[in-house]
């Protein structure tokens, strides 16, 4: 049975993550938001510390590699696990309480690293250890529908030749490699989509430009072109066989692991906004009273209580999705529910907090306006709100993607 209290074995680690967020990420948040595309050098030391914690085993398996699932989740005595997936989402919540963009800028902690951890073989996991990997999915003609990917990978001897263009690649200008999603055969459909680790110095791979963005401005976002880019066949993650029966399984396995992480980012950002807003309301003489009915409280306090209830739902859904992954339970439905709820809640809460704070919320005196800008991407990447709702509907109704579009 799931216990939604923070497991005792994670508490010290989560406390460390909160200290890092409070003392390093949030104090540098505004600086790197204004200095778009400037690399936050402070993160080198932080990334080295995370690497050290992971190597020593004291990091509780958190970080990008923490989403890797292992067979046999239950212990010999039949007890369930509170494992690395749960540890990862809890630590990500704390870090994004500090700053979402800076977390996304951390070396070796990108979504591409989570993709490697999700589907790589043990040999590939060792070979790509220490590599900072971005995630290259979205294309100019393919946004939320990942099954419509047009980038191709053609086997030529012991290499794949990749051709195509990827946009909105998080950390695409700074990372060591990108995990590129490409199709082996367009006629087969989604079953032919595979992911490849492509290093930045590979001939035929070009970073075309860095995007200027509404939010997460401290994290660079790149457009990358592949022209006859030759990649070793050994860099294909997972199996090269096209299995129409399994269809999109490899891709969905990645999403099932990374969507709870994005939900955790949204939960952390929203919590930061709630805490600052409650402090500002208190300074203005508006107190939130949990012992009084909501209709007997000031409008601002009533609005705050509604937001807090929504936040709690997103938080619990995120924990559930991660816990299920730790215990080898299928969590596609729960991962999409968590991502959909948390993404929407973060958008709603951060914007309403700006409104409640008035002129202070709209100005740069507080970080509320920045969090409102940052939160929008959390409802978009790793599958938009609309795509998550579609996935949830398919799962609940027992429909295939062909039956419910």
Catalytic residue numbers read 382
C-alpha 251/C-alpha 229 separation (Å) is 22
* Dihedral sign from CA coordinates of 299, 300, 305, 309: positive
209: three-class secondary structure by DSSP: strand
C-alpha 32/C-alpha 43 separation (Å) is 12
160: three-class secondary structure by DSSP: strand
Structure tokens given for 355:
């409104």
C-alpha 77/C-alpha 49 separation (Å) is 34
C-alpha 18/C-alpha 239 separation (Å) is 39
C-alpha 175/C-alpha 171 separation (Å) is 6
C-alpha 370/C-alpha 376 separation (Å) is 10
Torsion-angle region of 361 (φ positive above 0: left; ψ -120 to 50: alpha; else: beta): alpha
Q: Yes or no: say if 338 and 314 are a contact pair by the CB < 8 Å rule.
A: yes
Q: Yes or no: say if 183 and 152 are a contact pair by the CB < 8 Å rule.
A: yes
* Dihedral sign from CA coordinates of 49, 50, 56, 60: positive
Angle in degrees, CA 130, 135, 113, rounded to 5: 30
> What crossing angle do the helices spanning 368-375 and 249-283 adopt, rounded to 10°?
160
Separation of first and last alpha carbons in the chain: 35
Residue 146 DSSP class? G
142: three-class secondary structure by DSSP: strand
CA 150 to chain centre: 23
C-alpha 67/C-alpha 87 separation (Å) is 9
C-alpha 65/C-alpha 116 separation (Å) is 8
C-alpha 35/C-alpha 318 separation (Å) is 32
């Amino acid at each position: 049975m799931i216990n939604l209290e923070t497991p005792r074995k994670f508490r010290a680690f989560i406390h460390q993550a909160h200290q890092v967020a409070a003392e390093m990420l949030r104090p540098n948040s505004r600086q790197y938001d204004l200095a778009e595309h400037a690399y936050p050098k402070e993160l080198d030391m932080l990334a080295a510390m995370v690497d050290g914690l992971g190597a020593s085993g004291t990091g509780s398996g958190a970080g990008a590699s923490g989403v890797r699932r292992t067979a046999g989740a239950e212990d010999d005595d039949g007890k369930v696990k509170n494992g690395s997936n749960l540890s990862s989402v809890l630590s990500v919540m704390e870090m994004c309480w500090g700053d979402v963009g800076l977390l996304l800028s951390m070396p070796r902690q990108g979504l591409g690293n989570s993709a490697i951890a999700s589907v790589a073989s043990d040999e590939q996991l060792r070979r790509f250890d220490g590599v900072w990997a971005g995630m290259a999915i979205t294309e100019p003609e393919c946004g939320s529908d990942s099954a419509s990917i047009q980038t191709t990978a053609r086997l030529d001897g012991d290499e794949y030749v990749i051709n195509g263009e990827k946009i909105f690649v998080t950390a695409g200008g700074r990372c060591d490699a990108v995990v590129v999603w490409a199709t082996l055969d367009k006629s087969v459909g989604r079953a032919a989509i595979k992911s490849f680790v492509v290093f930045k110095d590979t001939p035929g791979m070009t970073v075309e430009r860095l995007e200027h963005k509404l939010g997460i401005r401290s994290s660079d976002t790149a457009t990358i072109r592949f022209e006859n880019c030759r990649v070793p066949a050994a860099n294909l993650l997972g199996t090269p066989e096209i299995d129409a029966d399994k269809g999109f399984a490899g891709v969905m396995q990645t999403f099932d692991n990374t969507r709870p992480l994005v939900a955790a980012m949204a939960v952390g950002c929203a919590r930061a906004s709630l805490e600052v807003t409650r402090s500002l309301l208190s300074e203005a003489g508006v107190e939130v009273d949990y012992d009084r009915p909501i209709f007997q409280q000031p409008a601002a306090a009533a609005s705050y209580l509604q937001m807090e209830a929504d936040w709690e739902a997103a938080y619990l859904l995120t924990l559930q999705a991660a816990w299920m992954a730790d215990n080898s339970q299928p969590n596609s439905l729960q991962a999409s529910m968590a991502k959909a709820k948390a993404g929407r809640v973060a958008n709603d809460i951060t914007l309403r907090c700006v409104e409640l704070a008035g002129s202070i919320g709209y100005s740069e005196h507080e970080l509320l306006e920045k969090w409102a800008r940052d939160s929008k991407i959390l409802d978009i990447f790793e599958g938009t709100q609309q795509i998550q709702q579609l996935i949830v509907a398919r799962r609940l109704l027992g429909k295939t993607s062909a039956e419910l579009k």
